[in-house]
Structure 1
């Protein structure tokens, strides 16, 4: 599927959250990860499901639990809630509805996500989300257009509809990171809407390989440069050229590090990994006889 134009994350002011404490509703800590939140949700939902709990407040409690789950398992909604509280999340939701119903942007391209989807344990529809190193470097928002089935008001038939999901990719997120949109997938006559999960996948880069928060660049040098020294110009992610002087002998496979020139650390985006330079020494196919004698003489003591 195609991916829309990426947008840089927009910085937000920090404001004390107001309204419901969704973390307290699920009985989890604010630093809890997605798996811990899902586990707590299942436990609470089972406890307060109206079919299993005759308490008159059970249905209202169950709705509150579902609302907390929807917010806290959506990275974008959770980020807004953590900064602005329930009121800020509601405003954001209204803005997204308005945006989805407007003419979004002439520069954006959408594609349906039915093809290539995978189901996980019958619960979530899973899509790979390819990201470039540049998108991981700066963070981005990808707008994904999905086609899904929804139950009609009569409760006996289904309709097909389209929706745009804003998938927020934070700086430094690693391949395999999962972004889940609860109940945004297909609905059937016999089951509630499925979750939709996007899994980040690194796209190949022409110059670098990714190693966690580090990026690896292979520099090719000649045998003469390896033995006699050289300066290698190393390209960085932000299109600079950094000179790397090498005065010592460089052995094949040797590495040098440019500190802080890699990708942002996922949990501390103000810090960055390294740009690791791996050297590949290019040996000549042949050496002229005269040069061979000179080299044998010069290397006699090595």
Structure 2
């Protein structure tokens, strides 16, 4: 079952925009890792940021309210016949500090907090570690665009970065290029992240930022991925929907499947082909399913003779 963003913010489904803002203000201050020292605080803080990021945006909230987390992140059908009949799925940027900073304003979100009773609580710049402490730059997040074939087989991607490297004097720096190698494993999903620690710009009195690459799936001309399953939309005429047919599907690894359809196909019908989906990340030898949905084409017009034949066949 998908994540309940309303429950994360301790709200009901009828919450208004003002309720959402008030709940995030209260809970983000309560569970901020600098204030709450429980080991689960960073995870809770991130969940709050993602919930607010979705529910504060009318478009994301509308999709989530109607289709849930799976529809929000997996994409929803737009229209049959389009080049890509599915919307782009939502991916949280994994930067709860950014959400927090933008909500409260300013480059230093820790300068001023408000306690639950509304009283002001001042925290020194640099957080509870005190002034003058070494501070790490915020993480740098980059998208890594991969095709379904890349994620089906696995591949190696080499990413070129340019970053500042401190010279021997410890004060000046030089821009240098570096190649980072990412070994993509079969079955990785959109949102999978790979982090290279401290590969950002070097400088005096700073800890270089981590660089994180987040997998984004490129649109595919034939398939749409939902978790480990692949969705294929087949267009068939009404006659074949009623009497049966065979659907030819070219798989990601180049095989041609001929799938017999012996059932009556209605607009909600789905043909499940086991084991023809994406590899499972935990066991690439196993695969998800191929789900075939149908776009049924109705005839534009019928001759009187055909109408009589259909009436006799369907209404007798």
Distance 1:246 1:128 in 2: 40
CA pair 210-299 structure 1, distance change in 2 beyond 3 A: same
**Which portions of structure 1, spanning 4 or more consecutive aligned residues, are displaced by more than 6 angstroms?**
none
Count of aligned pairs = 187
Is structure 2 residue 186 aligned with structure 1 residue 171? yes
Q: Which of 271, 275, 291 does residue 290 from structure 2 map onto?
A: 275
User: What runs of 5+ residues in structure 1 fail to find an aligned partner?
Assistant: 1-38, 43-117
SS of residue in 2 equivalent to 1:141: strand
After TM superposition, the structure 1 stretch with the greater mean CA deviation from structure 2, 286-295 or 129-138, is 286-295
Is structure 2 residue 179 aligned with structure 1 residue 142? no
SS of residue in 1 equivalent to 2:163: strand
Is structure 2 residue 182 aligned with structure 1 residue 153? no
Matches within 5 A, 1:1-302: 120=95, 121=97, 122-301=137-316
TM-score of the superposed pair, with normalisation by structure 2: 0.56
Q: What RMSD over aligned residues (CA atoms) do the two structures have, in Å?
A: 2.0
Distance 1:292 1:267 in 2: 55
Deviation (angstroms), 1:190 = 2.8
Partner of 1:78: none
Tell whether the 8 Å contact from 2:171 to 2:203 is kept in structure 1 after alignment. Answer: no
Cα deviation code 1:239-263 (max 9, x no counterpart):
1111111122111231111111111
User: What runs of 5+ residues in structure 2 fail to find an aligned partner?
Assistant: 1-38, 43-92, 98-136
Cα deviation code 1:269-296 (max 9, x no counterpart):
1111111111111111111122111111
Deviation (angstroms), 1:123 = 2.6
TM-score of the superposed pair, with normalisation by structure 1: 0.59
Distance 2:94 2:299 in 1: 53
